[in-house]
């Protein structure tokens, strides 16, 4: 069965600093037309930063779209400083958010954050052998963070009770649990 939709028209709706939005007119496989609102994003990285004490570092920050603070792994979008290199972005985000540099950085997975409306592709990294940075990069304007490390048991409880609801962070906690089981 052919599922492909053919884009027959694009209408720009919004061109912003973080996202661009367009309305597409598509031709469905049955020949009928439909509309899609698409959020375009430059891509992002997320990092499971694991301490020598085998704890995962999370940041708490305010998230305006949901009107409250969340606990998340360090993450951010790729920008012109990264030259389309997700590994560079991961190292930069660790510096900006938690002021640590990984001596070991390993790509774990890549995934689309929400394929129903966005093309944002996120790369998840594991960072270990963390050292204080030599030179701190500035945080994004208005980025206020609190930083704390949690054990796998604490993280599991926080996911179970709804204290952690951010998708990339839930995924990272589950991966951390899998790593703990292998030991």
Q: DSSP letters along 99-153, please?
A: -EEEEEEEEEEEEES-TTTB--EEEEEEEEEEEE-SSPPPPPTT---EEEEE-HH
Q: Which residue has the tokens 């004490």?
A: 53
CB 124 within 8 A of CB 83: no
Q: What is the per-residue pLDDT across 50-109, written as a single tens digit (0 to 9) for each?
A: 999 999 999 999 999 999 999 999 999 998 888 889 999 999 999 999 999 999 999 999
pLDDT higher than 80, residue 183: no
**Which pLDDT score, from 0 to 100, does residue 38 have?**
96
Residue 1's pLDDT is 83
3-61 pLDDT, tens digit each: 999 999 999 999 998 899 999 999 999 999 999 999 999 999 999 999 999 999 999 99
pTM for this predicted structure: 0.92
Strands 33-41 and 19-27: antiparallel
Asked if 87 and 108 count as a contact pair (C-beta separation under 8 A), the reply is no
Looking at the chain, the number of H-run helices and the number of E-run strands are 3, 10
pLDDT given for residue 84 in this prediction? 84
- What per-residue confidence (pLDDT) applies to 181? 81
């Amino acid at each position: 069965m052919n599922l492909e939709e053919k884009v027959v028209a694009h209408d720009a709706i919004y061109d912003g600093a973080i996202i661009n939005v367009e309305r597409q007119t598509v031709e469905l496989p049955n020949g009928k037309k439909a509309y899609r609102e698409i959020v375009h994003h430059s891509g992002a990285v997320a990092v499971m930063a694991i301490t020598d004490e085998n704890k995962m570092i999370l940041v708490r920050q305010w998230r305006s779209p949901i009107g409250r603070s969340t606990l998340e792994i360090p993450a951010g979008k790729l920008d012109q400083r990264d030259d389309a290199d997700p590994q560079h972005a991961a190292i930069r985000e660790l510096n900006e958010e938690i002021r640590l540099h990984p001596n070991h950085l390993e790509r774990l997975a890549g995934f689309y954050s929400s394929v129903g409306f966005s093309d944002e592709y996120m790369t998840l990294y594991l960072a270990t052998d963390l050292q204080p940075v030599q030179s701190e990069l500035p945080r994004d304007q208005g980025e206020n963070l609190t930083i704390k490390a949690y054990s796998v048991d604490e993280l599991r409880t926080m996911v179970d009770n709804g204290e952690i609801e951010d998708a990339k962070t839930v995924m990272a906690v589950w991966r951390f649990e899998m790593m703990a089981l292998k030991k």
